[in-house]
Chains A and B, each alone.
Chain A
Amino acid sequence: MKLSDSRDIAAPPEVVWAALLDAEVLKECVPGCQEMTGSPEEGFEAVVVQKVGPVKATFKGQVTMSEMNEPTSLTLSGEGKGGAAGFAKGGANVTLTPSDVGTTLSYDVEAKVGGKLAQLGSRIIDGFAKKMADQFFTRFQEVVEGADKAGEDDAEDSGESAAAGEKKGWFKRFVS
């Protein structure tokens, strides 16, 4: 299963890059993500609960990052095991290009499923993967744009809403 798309994010490539490597951001953006730990160097460990058609399962998996060319491109690859539900694995090539609004994020995803997921969900897996990718990047855009804005606000005004605090966390680390 292959999937390609791109979206424009109103933040500079450096900000988008940093967000992509942040476990907290990833946790917030990966649909159904319960836990996300790790670092770009060590790889991330994730626990994701998802329902694909009739199959609901907790997937435990690793995500590794490679071919990192800051801040223009990187490759993500991962595998999640869902026990009796089977497995999902895949990779994504992500490129960041400066644009008028900030950054154009393009991705090519290749994913495979196996076991019960393939047996019961093969007809719906393409649509499911597209939905997952859409949800991920929509949230990612919200988080990055919100955070970037929060960062600007922060620079101008130290008064801060509690809601933005979490988002600011990773951005602060990035700017510090």
Chain B
Amino acid sequence: MPRGFSRRDVLKGSGALALGFGSTRVVSAAPPASAVTPELIAAARKEGKIVYYTSIDLPLAEKIAKSFEAKYPGIAVRVERTGAERVFQRIGQEYASRIHAVDVVNSSDAAHFIVWKRDGLLAAYVPEDVAQHYPGDHKNDDGLYASFRIGLSVIGCNTDLVKPEDRPKSFADLLNPKWKGKIVKAHPSYSGTIMTATYQLARDLGWPYLEKLAQQNVMQVQSASDPPKKLALGERAVQADGNEYNLFQLREAGQPVEPLYASEGTPLAIGPNGLFKNAPNPNAARLFQSYCFTAECQQLVIDVGGLRSMHPLTKEKAGHRPLKDIKTLKDDAEGVEKHGEEIRARYTKVFKV
């Protein structure tokens, strides 16, 4: 199937971020915005800790935790980091046994929030920043969650191993025989970003693309954070998918890596934050959720993390191509929710793991 990818007119514009938040309801059921009050801080301090399940890269998650602890001394953040799909499985498993350990959750697979909402697990809480600043399609109508981070799953390369003129410019380029045995790729059964990205690629480029990619002897890793690290180690020359933000972090630390933006469009993964009704530390959870959406924390996510933010008061970092200039694939959390299991099964068949 020579270049059978652009069957769909993938993306019309860069601003096409009609995300999985679009519920058809007109009237918002969200509670009024909550400010951070001294009472909330005092109550949170009494609880003394908050447990944050997240799939964000570990050092970044710990940085966010440390900055929160610095701002609100006396409240310790415990980060539980694992791949989004495993975060989801873990919470499901724990809740089935009535273990309510998680306060706030962040997942790079927005489809999870659809399930948690359907199961009635999430608490409605709207931080002031979300109410005031966030665009409508980046906050849930019922006030259950909002877009904490915007990530891209990019192709990328090790600049020592790949000459500038040889860099792949599209997903199609990755099928070139010269990349055989030189590609690293993360797995949709572990990573929410990759789950989202696989859905978008299967939708827009079709499974035949992935089947051909599987013939390239790709090195299969789990987390979307890992391919950039494998590039930095020099273990593989090119990544077929993986976090753009890790590439930024590594590049800024002096590693020879570079994100590349495929001409077909780059998969987009929204990572919302939400808090649970049965949170063991409800006040600390609220305080933490509010903090996560402040311009201060969002700027940290951009500057330290290399991620993208929907907070209009934040600035894109110099040297990072602005989001609006990147051609992205359309995010569709409902679609991922509906087809997730099928994608996992088919992926396992195609890639043998």
Asked whether A and B interact, the reply is no
A-side residues, CB < 8 A to B, are: none
